[in-house]
Structure 1
Amino acid sequence: MDAPLLFQQLPLAARPPFYFALRPDVVTAARIRTLARHLQRRDRIGGQLYSADRLHVSLCPIGLDGLRRGDLAAAIHAAAEITLERFPLRFDSTASVRGRGGHCLILRASAQCRGVLRLADVLRHNLAGAGLAVPGGAGDPHLTMIRQTTETPESRLAAPIEWLADEFVLARLGGSANGDLGRWPLKK
C-alpha cells in the first residue's frame, strides 16, 4: 500500500517561498536527529536527514499564488498580532509519506495537537484578513526527519518526542533557522 500524501503536491515552481512554522529547541532537535539516525540504521533505510536547524512543524505557507509587493510585510504584521499561549507538542510515532523524490519519514502525533491546529487557524485567519491567499486547512501536524528515503512501516516510539512551543517563525523554503525572517513569542 502506498504511503499517504499529507498535502497536495504542487509543482516545484509553484511551491511557496515562505512558510510559518514551529521549530524545536536545540536539545529536542538533537534528540530528533539521534532518533532519525537510529531509525536509518535499524530499518536499513537511506535518505537525507534534515539538519537540526531545518527541523520544523509547518503551520501555513504564504505566497501560493505568488507574492505581491507588500505581502511579506503584511504577513509579518499579521503574525505580530497573535497573542496565543505556549503549548506542548508530543510526537509518539513515525510514518512514511510520499514526497518529491521518494518517501519522507515523519514524526506524527496519535493525539490531536490542539495548540498547533489553533495557532495555524488563527494565523490563516489573520493572513486572510491582511489580504493574503492562504490554504484552507492545516493538514496533520508532523515533522519531517528524513527525505528521499524508502517506504517504512508506521511505528510507535518507545519515548515520545516532546517540547514546549514557545515561539513560531517565518521561514524561507529550504532555509535554516539562521535565515528565518521573523520570530514571535507565544505567551507564558
Structure 2
Amino acid sequence: MLGKAEVLRIEQQSFLRGRAGSTVPVQPQQKYADDHGKSNLFLALVPEREVALQAVETGREIARRYGLSKSPRPHERMHVSLNAIGTYPDFPDDIVFAVSAAMATVKAAPFEVNFDRAMSVTNARAVVLANAIRSEEMMDLHVQLAKEMWSVGLNFTYNPRFMPHMTVLYDDVPVPEHLLAEPVRWIAREFVLIRSVIGKSEYEYLDRWPLLD
C-alpha cells in the first residue's frame, strides 16, 4: 500500500458514517451544477447485465418500501466507482491515452463484490448499496490504480477511507440503513474507463482491462 509520502490524498467532500467508523465517499449533486456538458472521466467496476438488472429491481423495492418518488437509475449506469480522473471541458484525448497506457500495467485477480445493505447518503440524496465490511481486494485495486496514475504524472485520487458503494437512485426522502433480502453480488473480472457527459444520462466505455488470476 502507498505510504503517506507517496500519494496526494484528495479527500471527498462528504462521507456517510458507517458502522465501526467506516465511511462511504460520495460526490454531492450540486458539485456538477456548473459543469453541464463537460466530460467526467472515472475508473469503475461494472456489474454483469443480470446483476445490474437486480440492482434496478432492488432500487424499485426500496422506493416502494420507503415511499420514494424517484425511479432507479437505468441498468446501463449501475457501477462502482474506483478512482476519479477529472472533469474536462472537451474530450481529453491525451488524458485518455495516458490513462489507458498506465492501466495496462495493473495486475489484480478477480474478486467478489458483495453489497448486503442499502442506505441514504447524508446531504447527497443518493440511495446506495454497500457493505459494512470493506472489500480489501477493492481497496488494493483502488490504491494500485492511484499508484499507476501517479507514476506517469497524472492527477489521481486516493482515499484511505474508501468504502465501495453503488448508487441505485436519488431521492429527497432518507432511507435508513437496512439489510437487503437478497445481496447484490458478482465476481469482478475487469475494470473500465468511463466517460459521462454531465447533464446527459449515458455512459461511454472508453477502455477496459481484465482482472487475471
- TM-score interval, normalised by the smaller of the two chains: 0.7 to 0.9
Show CA shifts across 1:102-150 (max 9, x none): x111001122211211111100000111111112316210000011342
In structure 2, C-alpha distance between the alignment counterparts of 1:142 and 1:168, rounded to whole Å: 15
Looking at structure 2, the residues matched to 149 and 72 of structure 1 have their Cα atoms a distance apart, in angstroms, of: 35
8 Å Cα contact 2:85/2:156 also seen in 1: yes
**1:8-157 mapped onto 2 (5 Å cutoff):** 9=28, 11-12=31-32, 13=34, 17-63=40-86, 70-98=94-122, 103-137=125-159, 139-157=162-180
1:37–1:11 Cα change, 3 Å: closer
Partners of 1:92 and 1:62 in 2: CA distance: 28
Query: What is the total number of aligned residue pairs between the two structures?
Result: 183
Query: Residue in 2 aligned with 1:182?
Result: 207
TM-score, length-scaled by structure 1 = 0.86
Contact 2:102 2:148 in 1 (8 A): yes
Partners of 2:68 and 2:171 within 8 A in 1: no
Going from structure 1 to structure 2, the CA distance change for 1:69 and 1:170 (only over 3 Å counts) comes to closer
Aligned equivalents of 1:48, 1:62: Cα separation in 2: 28
Aligned-partner residue type, residue 152 of structure 1? V
Asked if the contact 1:105/1:147 (under 8 Å) is kept, the reply is yes
Task: Give the unaligned 5+ runs of structure 2.
Answer: 1-14, 17-23
Query: Percent identity among equivalent residues?
Result: 26
* Structure 2 match to 1:7: 26
CA distance in 2, matches of 1:30, 1:141: 19
Q: Output one character per residue of 1:36-75: Cα deviation in whole Å (capped at 9) or x when no partner.
A: 1111111111224111010000000112688976222111
Q: Secondary structure at the match of 1:183?
A: strand
CA RMSD of aligned residues (A): 2.5
- Report the alpha carbon displacement of residue 93 of structure 1 after superposing the two structures with TM: 0.6
Distance 1:122 1:28, change over 3 A: same
